[in-house]
DNA sequence: AAAAATATTTTGATCTATCAAAAACATAGT
DNA sequence: ACTATGTTTTTGATAGATCAAAATATTTTT
């Protein structure tokens, strides 16, 4: 059984690994993100290696073993499902949920997590739009990118809407912004932080780039 | 800030105090309910006293200070609200929730607890029928008595089940011994330490008086 | 009241997680 | 190449929570 501390180390190692694309995460970086002294991180690295969670390469850093990665992914799943619950069900503010989930993720059992997942309708993205790993520890690899990253005259197909709030979903539905639909970007006005577009052959309209980030699309080849 | 361990000690001290009506809880008893050795409980008692949670009377036991009682009550509130959530919202089985709540109660923040309370409609009793302390730490006083204290032909209504033991809860559910149900005592056999009864219009069955003590009931006037 | 049984406390040890400060190593800059 | 700067590891200490086993105190039985 891994302690909360171990769970935190592994989760942060995973996050840094995913963000940096490096195979080994240096101890200093781990110490920084976890808010401990470098010496503490080093001594922890040895314990983590002893227990089979990571491989430790002195002066270079640590990398997760298969076992460590599995647990770390599971922590990420817990964290993101809990964040979803806190926003969707209890209506907590966006900026509060991270710290709350950070605590709860160590206490919730696999069984309760499953029930929660079911209760929430098996969401695939958390309120920040980050993907929620599956039970098996797989992150749905997205080929799609936010609509906001495309240029004028792009033609793209909607893959998913990162369901943020009710109002937005209502607006999206009214404009036929639904998975499968084709979008043409007519004009891009970076200064005004907006784009104008049309969905299929419908009326053109405009939309803020902030909102366009919530719409994941694929190139309509 | 109290650790989970401290929170557990205080909660159990409170529960034993309430059940036994003694002013001091002996260390051996605490050791037993918490599953630690007596020596551990003694050494913990000194730490608890040092930090102002309890008064410690060597060889007699501990009693909660005002501050300790307040925290203990709050733990009870957390525990019972969480149990309610696990049953009402997530649909967990009756006998599973105790262990789950035991973990979560240390991780949930005051803020999330408040939101949860609101979401659940500010329930006053948990699924076992036990009263949920208010935010201020007040327990709604029950008028109920153990089933074992009633006579033949009494008709009573179940108020709560005090035993948290899995096996017992499973048995209780199977026999429909649930808060709100009506019981008729058909026969009382003091020699055999048993009674026979029926719940509502279900099949009659018999039950030891030891078990009947665990079921708190009100006169069904 | 003495012996036996039970309960509580003490003692000495361990493991986890942490820190501060010193030491060792690595990298970059002139 | 040498020094200054930055990073990582080591060392020695501490606090919390626990155990096993020995010592002490209390209660019950005979």
pLDDT at B67: 96
Provide the shortest C-alpha distance from residue A88 to chain B (in Å). 12
CB contact under 8 A, B92 and A111: yes
Residue of B nearest to A106 (CA): B107
Using a CB-CB distance cutoff of 8 angstroms, which residues of chain A are in contact with residue B96? 111
Is B118 a residue whose pLDDT tops 90? Answer: yes
Of A91, A100, A109, the CB nearest to B109: A100
Q: Which nucleotide's C1' atom has the smallest distance to the CA of A40?
A: C18
Q: How much is the average pLDDT of B28-41?
A: 97
CB contact under 8 A, B103 and A109: yes
Is B133 a residue whose pLDDT tops 90? Answer: yes
Of B100, B108, B109, the CB nearest to A112: B100
pLDDT at B210: 86
Residue A164 banded pLDDT, cuts 50, 70, 90: low
CB contact under 8 A, B92 and A115: yes
Q: How much is the average pLDDT of A169-188?
A: 87
Residue A191 banded pLDDT, cuts 50, 70, 90: confident
Interface test with B, best of A90, A95, A98 (most B CBs within 10 A): A90
Is B177 a residue whose pLDDT tops 80? Answer: yes
Residue A221 banded pLDDT, cuts 50, 70, 90: low
Of B104, B107, B115, the CB nearest to A91: B115
Percent of chain A with pLDDT over 90: 63
Q: Which nucleotide's C1' atom has the smallest distance to the CA of A32?
A: D7
Mean of all residue pLDDT scores within chain B: 92
For chain A, the three-class secondary structure string (H helix, E strand, C coil) is: CCCHHHHHHHHHHHHHHHHHCCCCECHHHHHHHHCCCHHHHHHHHHHHHHCCCEEEECCCEEEECHHHHHHHHHHHHHHHHHHHHHHHCCCCCCCCHHHHHHHHCCCCCHHHHHHHHHHCCCCCECCCCCECCCCCCCCCCCCCEEHHHCCCCCEEEEEEECCCCHHHHHHHHHCCCCCCCEEEEEEEECCCCEEEEEECCCCCEEEEHHHHCCEEEEECC
Q: How much is the average pLDDT of B94-119?
A: 96
Percent of chain B with pLDDT over 90: 70
Residue nearest to nucleotide D15 (CA to C1'): B47
């Amino acid at each position: 059984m891994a302690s909360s501390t171990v769970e935190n180390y592994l989760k942060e190692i995973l996050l840094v690994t995913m963000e940096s694309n490096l195979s080994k995460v240096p101890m200093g970086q781990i110490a920084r993100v976890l808010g401990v002294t470098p010496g503490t991180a080093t001594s922890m690295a040895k314990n983590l290696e002893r227990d089979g969670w990571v491989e430790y390469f002195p002066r270079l850093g640590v990398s997760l073993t298969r076992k460590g990665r599995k647990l770390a992914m599971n922590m990420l799943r817990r964290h993101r499902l809990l964040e979803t619950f806190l926003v969707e069900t209890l209506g907590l503010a966006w900026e509060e949920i991270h710290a709350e989930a950070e605590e709860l993720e160590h206490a919730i059992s696999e069984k309760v997590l499953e029930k929660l997942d079911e209760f929430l309708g098996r969401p695939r993205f958390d309120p920040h739009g980050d993907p929620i790993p599956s039970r098996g520890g797989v992150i749905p690899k997205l080929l799609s990118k936010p609509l906001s990253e495309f240029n004028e005259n792009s033609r793209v197909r909607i893959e998913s809407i990162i369901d943020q709030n009710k109002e937005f979903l209502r607006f999206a539905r009214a404009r036929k912004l639904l998975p499968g639909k084709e979008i043409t970007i007519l004009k891009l006005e970076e200064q005004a932080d907006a784009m104008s577009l049309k969905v299929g052959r419908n009326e053109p309209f405009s939309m803020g780039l902030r909102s366009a980030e919530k719409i994941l699309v694929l190139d309509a080849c």
